[in-house]
Structure 1
Amino acid sequence: MHADRSSISLKVAYGLFAVVFFWSWWQPLWPVEQAMHDSLTVAALLALWVWRDRWALRANDQMLILLFLSLHSLAAHWLYSNVPYDAWTRAWLGVSLNEWMGWRRNHFDRLVHFMYGVCFTPALFSIALARLTPSVGLARVLAVGAIIVSGVVYEWLEWGVALALSPEAAESYNGQQGDVWDPHMDMLLAAIGALITWPWLRPASPRTPQAS
C-alpha cells in the first residue's frame, strides 16, 4: 500500500513538472536565452528518467529533483532576473517583498541556487550509499561535496558562455544584475541548502520503495 501511494505521488510529480515546463514555453519572452537555460533541464530530466533505477533513487529523491527542475523552468521563462515575484506578493498579500526585505535586486536566482542544494543532496546521498560506500557519514560528506563542486563547475560554465556572447547577451543570460559577488553567493547558498538536509540523510528503510 505504501509503495502504491509513493508510485502515484511520483507520477503526479512528473505530471506537474510537465505542466510547469510546457507552460513556461507558452509565448516565451526570450526564446533563445530560455532554450539555453532549459537545455540543462532537459538533460537532467533525461538522465533522471534513464538512470533512476541504476542510481537507486527513491521516490522522494526524484520528487525533490522534479521540484527543483520546476523552479528552474519557471525562472528560465523570465531569465531569472525578471521573475515578477514582487508583483505577485503585492497582488496577493498587498506587500512588496523587496521593500520589506530591503532588497535592491531580483533574488529569485538566490532561491533556485539554495533549492539546488536542498533538492539534489538527498539523491546524491542515495547514489553514494548505493554505489560508492556503505558508510552513512561518508555518503553525507560525498553528497554535500558533490553539490559544492558542481556549483563551482556551473559557475565556470556560465563564465564560459559569457565569454562567447556579447556583453548585453551575457548579462541577460547570467543575470548578475551588477553584483560582482553573484557567483560566490550562488555557490554559498547551494552549499547551505545541502548542509541543511544533513540530519535527514538516512538509508532507506525496508518499507521505503525505490524508484519505479
Structure 2
Amino acid sequence: MSFTTASSKERVAFKHNRLLQILALLFFIFWIGTFVSTPNKANWYTENVLTILFLLGLSISHKKFKFSDLSYFMITVYLLLHIYGAEYTYAENPFGYWLKETLALNRNYYDRIVHFSFGFLLTYPMRDYFKNHFEWPNWVCWILPIEITLSFSALYELIEWLVADIFFPEEGVAYLGTQGDIWDAQKDMGIAFVGAVIAMALISSIRKFK
C-alpha cells in the first residue's frame, strides 16, 4: 500500500497497516529505553503523563478515525523528541548541551526544539483530521490548527505551573526547565506558534495538499 498523505474511509485498521505497526514498535522500544536509562524516574513519570493520555486518545479514536500515514509519522517523530527530552529533563538534555557547546549558545535549547516541533509537526495531523473527518472549508482547516497550537501551548504552560508548584513541588525546577529565563513560558508558546505557521505555509504551497 502506498504512503498516504490524507485520511479516507478506505484507511486500513492497525492490524493491517505495516507502517503504523513499525512506527508503534519503534516508539515503544525507545520509550522503554528512556525509562530504563533515565537518571530521574520521578521526572520521567511526570513528563510522560501527557504522553500516556495522548496515546490513549489516539488508540480510542482509531476505530472512528484513522490519520494518514504522513500524520502518524509526524506524530511519532514529535513523541520521540518529547520522550527523549523526558529521559534527562529538557534542560539537561545531552543533544541540547552538544548544540550549546558546538554553536556557543547561552542555554540548552532542546526545550525550544520540542516546542517548535509541537507546532511544526502536529498542525498537519490536525488539518488532516478537520479536513477529512468534519469536511470543513479549506481555510478553516488551515487556520484552526495554528490557533489550537497556540491555545494548547498556553494550556501546557498552565499545566506545568500546576504540576511544578502545587502537585509535585520537589520536581518543580527540573520539570519547568526555565534555565533562569523569566520569559521561558512566553518564548515556548511563541516558538510553537512560529512552527505551526511555517508548517501550514509550507504545506499550503504544495499543490497536492491544497
Name the TM tier (shorter chain).
0.7 to 0.9
C-alpha contact (below 8 Å) 2:96/2:110 kept by paired residues: no
Which residue in the other structure is 1:148 paired with?
150
Structure having greater relative contact order (Cα 8 Å, sep ≥ 6): 1
TM-score (normalizing by structure 1): 0.83
Task: Give the corresponding residue for 1:65.
Answer: 75
- Whole-Å separation in 2 of the counterparts to 1:183 and 1:24: 25
1:124: which partner in 2?
126
* 8 Å contact kept, 2:163–2:169: no
Q: How far did residue 130 of structure 1 move?
A: 2.9
C-alpha distance in structure 1 between counterparts of 2:70 and 2:156, whole Å? 25
Which whole-Å CA distance do the structure 2 matches of 1:167 and 1:8 have between them?
43
What does residue range 1-212 of structure 1 map to in structure 2 within 5 Å?
1-2=1-2, 7-85=17-95, 89=98, 97-164=99-166, 169-198=171-200, 199-200=202-203
CA distance, structure 2, for counterparts of residue 79 and residue 107 of structure 1: 12
Q: Is the 8 A contact 1:121 1:197 kept in 2?
A: yes
Matched residue SS, 1:134: coil
Contact 1:56–1:130 (CA under 8 A) maintained in structure 2: no
Deviations 1:16-48 (A, max 9, x none): 111110110113311111101011111111211
Question: How many residues are matched?
Answer: 196
Check conservation: 1:75, 1:109, Cα contact below 8 A. Answer: yes
In structure 1, give the amino acid aligned to 2:2: H
Separation of aligned partners in 1, 2:159 and 2:136:
33
Closer, same or farther: CA 144–15 of 1 in aligned 2, 3 Å: same
CA contact (8 A) 1:114 1:192 kept: yes
Contact 2:37 2:87 in 1 (8 A): no
Amino acid at match of 1:160: L
Task: Verify the 8 A CA contact 1:56 1:126 in the aligned structure 2.
Answer: no
Counting aligned pairs with the same residue, the percent is: 25
Cα offset, 1:53, TM superposition: 4.7
Deviation at 1:201, TM superposition (A): 5.1
C-alpha change, 1:86 and 1:34, in structure 2 (3 Å) is closer
Scaled by the length of structure 2, the TM-score of the pair is 0.83
Deviation at 1:3, TM superposition (A): 6.0
Q: Deviations over 1:129-153 (max 9, x none)?
A: 2344531111110111111100001
CA contact 1:148–1:187 (8 Å) conserved in 2: yes
RMSD of aligned residue pairs (Cα, Å): 2.6
Q: Which runs of 5+ in 1 are unaligned?
A: 90-96, 206-212
Q: Detail structure 1 runs of 4+ shifted over 6 Å in the superposition.
A: none
Q: Deviations over 1:60-93 (max 9, x none)?
A: 1111111111111111010111111266x5xxxx
More helix by share: 2
Q: In the aligned structure 2, how far is the partner of 1:42 from the partner of 1:168?
A: 22
